[in-house]
Amino acid sequence: MILETLFSTGLRVSELVGIDRDKINLKTGEFMVRGKGRKDRVVFLDENCRSWLEKYLEKRKDNMNAVFINFRGKEDISSDGEDKRLTQRSIQRIVKKYAKIGGVVKEITPHGLRHLFATDLLQNGADIRSVQTMLGHASITTTQIYTHVTNRQLKEVHEAFHGRRRK
């Protein structure tokens, strides 16, 4: 669930731990986060993530507002609303654990999933300005650092667009 949300949204780990249940609109698949520089931005959930979040939140029997909580069994769930929000470090450990379980050899971090989010968007045709906005970057330079274009992609662009008028 956490990995799905990170990849679906491109959130920073600090933004992920701050998500509250009452802020997510599961019907539209969007919510607001306050990012770096205290700037608000809209975040979108893909269908798969939206479906998993909906199932997860329906099963929760507590009244805590945090989306991602420290849950080790019924005795750890506070019925009085005490916040047991996961920490950034907990998220890092969870990502590492499930990447290992999934057989991923390369080290995966929450920030790495953010990078994959941006790369996936660009490889599938999104423009860099839109990706910049979705990541909450003030500068396009920061977005360019996150992304990389493969030689294969460059060759495809070259073949598709260079010298078209000469034919």
| Structural domain spans, the chain | 2-166
The catalytic residue among 23, 41, 96, 111 is 111
How much is the pLDDT for 55?
95
pLDDT digits (tens, 9 = 90+) for 128-159: 999 999 999 999 998 988 766 666 677 777 88
- Residues of the chain with pLDDT below 70 are 72-83, 147-152, 163-167
21 belongs to the catalytic site = no
Would residue 114 show up in a list of annotated catalytic residues for this protein?
yes
User: Which pLDDT value is given to residue 144?
Assistant: 86
Q: What average pLDDT does the structure give for the chain? A: 87
Q: Is 12 a catalytic residue?
A: yes
Q: For position 122, what pLDDT does the model report?
A: 86
Please state, in angstroms and as integers, the Cα–Cα distance from residue 55 to each residue in 58, 60, 85, 111, 153, following that order: 5, 9, 19, 25, 37
Check 98, 106, 146, 152 and give the catalytic one. Answer: 146
> Considering 34, 36, 100, 158, which one is annotated as catalytic?
36
State which CATH number among 1.10.443.10, 3.40.225.10, 1.10.10.60, 3.40.190.10 fits the domain covering 2-166.
1.10.443.10
| Residue 158 annotated among the catalytic residues of the structure | no
What pLDDT is attached to residue 68?
94
148 classed as catalytic: no
Specify the pLDDT at position 134.
Answer: 95
Contacts of 52-56 spanning 24+ positions with Cβ under 8 A: 52/1, 52/4, 53/1, 53/5, 53/24, 53/26, 54/26, 56/1
Q: Tell me, what's the pLDDT at 1?
A: 87
